[in-house]
């Protein structure tokens, strides 16, 4: 997306994929990877699962939003400084406003409290969600995210879900923010029996766009939102940080939707 948007603006951009799985390396390779990027003259990095929180101690400074969220997906390298940003939150918020306009957000359940989940929970609260109840397979991680966000938002707007089924029964919508449903981790993050037509369901996964969760939700009459919009809008904001040029979001969205994905 970055290279094609740069081409459209007559800019020269090289976007290099560095995949820890392909390299057979763990998160502890991050310091060397960042230093290598600096030595090679890269102007920035995008950071994805599972590095969005692990990268924090390696940065010089954080944007206000990244500090509030506690996760970074974009790093600007300039003048010997490493500045961390989070464009996931604004990317999800813009996608939600476009794809689920008018959806009730007084009671939302979110599955996942990692780096992406921190951003989507923050976005939901900035959009005006009345209460966001967070569930994670690691309860301590959900509790830590709730505690962090309570420093910025009213305490009664956040809760930890002890029982996911019970939380979904009381909710108006669901945000799924874990890697479950990706090509590498196919399947459902919870039983499809929890779904009902009154719910809306948003998934951050975008490879594939049509996850098992979204297919099951659509079959039951739920409004659904795939992860494509968040992927595009976070990339557009990162492009602006890297290049200093305004991204054409409509062009990037059209370009993404026209690219074979599933």
**How is the chain split into domains, by residue range?**
2-87+229-257, 89-227
Q: How distant, in Å, are the alpha carbons of 37, 63, 97 from that of 177?
A: 28, 22, 17
Phi, psi of 145 (to 5 degrees): -65, -45
Cβ atoms of 43 and 37 closer than 8 Å? no
Q: Which CATH number fits domain 89-227: 2.70.98.40, 3.30.1490.100, 3.40.50.720, 3.20.110.10?
A: 3.40.50.720
Rounded CA separation 131/154 (Å): 10
Which residue of the set 2, 52, 176, 249 is catalytic?
A: 52
Q: Can 52 be counted among the known catalytic residues?
A: yes
Q: Are 220 and 201 in contact (CB under 8 A)?
A: no
* Within this chain, domains 2-87+229-257 and 89-227 share the same CATH topology: yes
Closest CA to 221 of 194, 190, 189, 199: 199
Tally of CB atoms within 10 A around 35: 12
H/E stretch holding 108 = strand 107-111
CB 108 within 8 Å of CB 132: yes
Residues in the chain: 262
Neighbours of 166 (CB within 10 A): 13
* Tens place of pLDDT per residue across the chain (262 aa): 999 999 999 999 999 999 999 999 999 999 999 999 999 999 999 999 899 999 999 999 999 999 999 999 999 999 999 999 999 999 999 999 999 999 999 999 999 999 999 999 999 999 999 999 999 999 999 999 999 999 999 999 999 999 999 999 999 999 999 999 999 999 999 999 999 999 999 999 999 999 999 999 999 999 999 999 999 999 999 999 999 999 999 999 999 988 655 4
Fold of 2-87+229-257: Rossmann fold (3.40.50)
Cβ atoms of 104 and 114 within 8 Å: the answer is: no
pLDDT digits (tens, 9 = 90+) for 13-27: 999 999 999 999 999
């Amino acid at each position: 997306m970055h290279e094609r948007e740069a081409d459209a603006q007559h800019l020269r951009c090289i976007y290099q994929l560095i995949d820890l799985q392909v390299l057979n390396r763990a998160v502890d390779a991050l310091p060397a990877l960042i230093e290598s990027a600096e030595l090679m003259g890269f102007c920035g990095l995008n950071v994805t699962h599972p590095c969005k929180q692990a990268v924090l101690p390696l940065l010089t400074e954080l944007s206000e939003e990244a500090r509030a969220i506690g996760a970074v997906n974009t790093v600007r390298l300039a003048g010997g400084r490493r500045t961390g940003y989070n464009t996931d939150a604004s990317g999800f918020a813009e996608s939600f406003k476009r794809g689920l306009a008018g959806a009730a957000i007084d009671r939302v359940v979110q599955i996942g409290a990692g780096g992406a989940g921190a951003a989507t929970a923050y976005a939901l609260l900035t959009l005006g969600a009345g209460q966001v109840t967070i569930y994670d397979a690691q309860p301590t991680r959900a509790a830590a995210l709730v505690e962090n966000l309570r420093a910025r938002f009213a305490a009664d707007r956040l809760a930890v879900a002890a029982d996911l089924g019970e939380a979904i029964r009381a909710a108006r919508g669901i945000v799924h923010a874990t890697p479950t449903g990706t090509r590498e981790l196919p399947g459902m993050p919870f039983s499809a029996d929890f779904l009902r037509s009154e719910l809306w369901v948003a998934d951050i996964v975008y490879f594939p766009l049509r996850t098992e969760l979204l297919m099951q939700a659509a079959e039951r009459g739920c409004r659904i939102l795939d992860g494509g919009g968040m992927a595009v809008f976070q990339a557009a904001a990162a492009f602006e940080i890297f290049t200093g040029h305004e991204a054409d979001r409509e062009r990037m969205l059209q370009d993404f939707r026209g690219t074979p994905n599933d």
